[in-house]
Amino acid sequence: MSRLRRAAAAALMLSFLVLPVLRGTGEDAGGARVTWKQVERYIETLKRALLAMQEPDGSLSYPFLPFYRPGMTALAGYALLEAGVPPDDPAIRAMETYCRMSLPDRYSVYSASFCALFLAKADVQRNRDVLERIAAYLVREQHSNGMWSYSAQGRDRRGISESGDNSNTQFAVLALKVLHDAGIEAPRRVWERVRKHYERTQNSDGGWGYADWHRQSSYCAMTAAAVASLWIIREVLEGKKKHCTEVKRDPVFEAGVRYLDEHFSPERSLISQWHTYFLYAMERAGMITARRYFGGYDWYRAGAAELVRRQSVSDPASAAFALLFLAEGKTPLLVQKLERPGGDWDNDHYDLENLTRFYSEATGRKVTWQLARVRGDASDLLEAPVLLISGRLALDLTLMERAALKEYLLNGGSILALPASDSAEFDRSFRRLMAEMFPDSPLMPLPKDHVIYRYHFKIPEADRPLIYTISQGCTMNILYVPRGRYTCRWTTEDHSGHAFEMGVNMLMFLAGDQKLKNRVDPVKFVPLAEMKERRNVRPPRGAVVIGQIKHSGQWRPLKHDITNLMRKLRDDAGVTVGLYPEPVDAEKDDLYAYPILYITGLYDFRLSDEACRRIREFVERGGFLFGDPACGRKEFDKGFRKFIARVFPGRKLEKIPIEHSIYTIGYDVRKVDFRPTVRSSLPDLSEPELEGVKVGNRYGVVYSRFNFSCGLDGMPAPICWGYAPEDSVKIAVNIILYALNN
């Protein structure tokens, strides 16, 4: 028996064993690490619990303090809205009606503050009359020392005289900020008083306690509340409209952040019965500062794990605070800003905050951002598909940071580099860094008619910046814009001049069709060292190994496509595989060493007559050939069709009917999604299009004019003409399973 027949027989036996499997990865139901599925389930549990607590009049009661029924109702309604319940939901409308009807004669600072948050979130215009009364009440109730207490009559109307506390104060500040954003502004003196209060009462360790009359020593809940409040106060008093100016450092705020860094830990901070209240304060501090870590802990992941583990909330306040905390994880990360020693990385403080807000409004997809620093490898950087690198000074990265950046790029990340204030010093250092990291791929300018200038917004030609990129195959995952002062312009709230529109185009171009990651599940990536080691690993005995045909049209433009496909077959279908394709010279090499051959490329190509004859013989004797155009390039597509005409004279590719088993042999791919490049010109296309050459009663050649290898490769490929990444993988898996089964 020939080697081809032995390989084909082994593949046939193997395929019968693995075809029914295609299993997914299991979910970790226990242990310390929480999964996003568990978080989503608990979010739904909390939503149902709050709705079940609702009374016929629309309210929710607070068993400890019945006086706070309007506040508890508003807090629950606000949490439900943040978790995605629509404002026109009957339960939400009933809560809204109750708050509107109950507030005038049942004010307290807590209730007024929560009602401001809820009613503004539900509908600012419909509730403006009540919101204006709440604003007047909060201004009137502020103590001369800048704080707020439970009510003018004393705590809980029990006659206890006190001068205010940091708990009531934080919610009053939060409510006044929401009212400020709605155009209902408090006098400047209100904000100045509360800022002076925080500056005056900060403890020597950098933290804050509850009040000067109770629990004065610092603890994380009150410190997180103070940090968030100070940020809000600075925004209101100083605004976010400063253009291209250095950020004024706030030593009080920074000392508060240091306190959280030094004192936060899940073991110590989450043991209180008020742990959900504390987590909501930490969530605001974390989101406002865009920090992922406090005290070396991922605050969201740690808090989510603890909430999912406990699942014990018996009152509306605890349930609402837990829901507010967890709901923040539903907003995916689109971009991170690289944090480096010193302050040069953050010259334009509100750039990404303003840009991601504009992006969310422009695209209808809410996204957010955070800071990232290199902590040994690329894992933290890979939390988002785009990394912003900016600065005025020279970019001086350590060897560890450079290795992590390269690891990030090779695992599918993208870099957007923008010098602050068009710094020439940063420009020289970034170009030098790219030359050192990619010596064979220079920075090249994009043409002014490139798709990036019309990717979402059409940018007028006069406003199109010069953009440099490093192109590697179908991948453009580095964009460098040396001129245009973009980070400066994003710090303003002036959306004229196309700076924000160009920013959206660049982020969408780099992120492409990548599915944005949630805040809980760990990043999966291949370390640089492992990439090098794997190249030297010999495939297991009897493994299916794919041979990739060499030719003159840039035969291997992608690095990870076949490897990722074989890994998918190994992990999900149980196939014994060789992970790496082996280069094949079709004129000289032994084609029968491989049951399957693959061909792709960027450009037109021509193989010798002898190579064409040998490939025809290979297919006719039971071998299998499949291919696609890299990036969906038409030059290769034309070349492939000419190649098939030479391999099989008088034959041509025929469309494989949608009823054929190749579309259902592993995954059902009779309906698929395409990349934006295809959808823009073929919006009604929803079925895959595979073509083939029949040999007897089987297809010995299968080809797709729509690219699937970009999706297999996993790298950003915004110019790729082909299937969406997830469907690319499924189609390629089906092609291989069909080959093994035939």
pLDDT per position as a tens digit, 465-516: 999 998 777 778 899 999 999 999 998 878 888 999 999 999 999 987 778 8
Q: Give CA–CA dist 191/239, Å, rounded.
A: 13
**pTM beyond cutoff 0.85:** no
β-strands 444-445, 624-627 pairing: unpaired
Q: How many CB atoms lie within 10 A of CB 395?
A: 24
- Tokens read off for 38: 């568990």
Considering only CA atoms, which of 382, 389, 394, 398 is closest in space to residue 348?
A: 389
Rounded to the nearest integer, the mean pLDDT of the chain is: 87
Q: Give CA–CA dist 730/708, Å, rounded.
A: 9
pLDDT of residue 28: 33
Considering only CA atoms, which of 616, 617, 622 is closest in space to residue 595?
A: 622
Q: Pick the range with the lowest mean pLDDT from 43-52, 55-64, 700-709.
A: 55-64
pLDDT of residue 24: 28
If phi over 0 gives left and psi between -120 and 50 gives alpha, with beta otherwise, what is residue 574? Answer: left
Is residue 46 classed as helix, strand or coil in its secondary structure? helix
pLDDT range class, residue 162, cuts 50, 70, 90: low
pLDDT range class, residue 68, cuts 50, 70, 90: confident
pLDDT range class, residue 535, cuts 50, 70, 90: low
User: Which position has the token pair 């009364």?
Assistant: 133
Cα four-point dihedral sign 274, 276, 280, 286: positive
The yes-or-no verdict on residue 160 having pLDDT over 60 is no
pLDDT digits 0-9 by tens, 420-462? 988 999 999 999 999 999 888 889 999 999 889 998 999 999 9
The yes-or-no verdict on residue 30 having pLDDT over 70 is no
β-strands 293-294, 297-298 pairing: antiparallel
Domains and CATH numbers, the chain: 3-26+524-741 (3.40.50.12140), 36-241+250-330 (1.50.10.20), 334-511 (3.40.50.12140)
pLDDT range class, residue 367, cuts 50, 70, 90: very high
Q: Give CA–CA dist 562/689, Å, rounded.
A: 20
pLDDT of residue 128: 96
The yes-or-no verdict on residue 14 having pLDDT over 60 is no
Residue 654 — φ and ψ, nearest 5°?
-120, 145
Helical ranges in 607-700 per DSSP H: 609-620, 634-647, 676-679
